Amino acid sequence: MNLEPVASCIRDRMDACETLGEQVALLHVKWWQERGFPEGVPDESPYELEAARKAPSWRRVCKSLLRNDYWGKGLGFSQHKSDAYKAYLDLMRRRRDKWGLAAGAVELPFELAEVAG
In this prediction, residue 15 carries a pLDDT of: 47
CB 74 within 8 A of CB 67: yes
Q: Mark the ranges of the chain whose per-residue pLDDT is less than 50.
A: 15-17, 117
In this prediction, residue 16 carries a pLDDT of: 44
Q: What is the pTM of this model?
A: 0.53
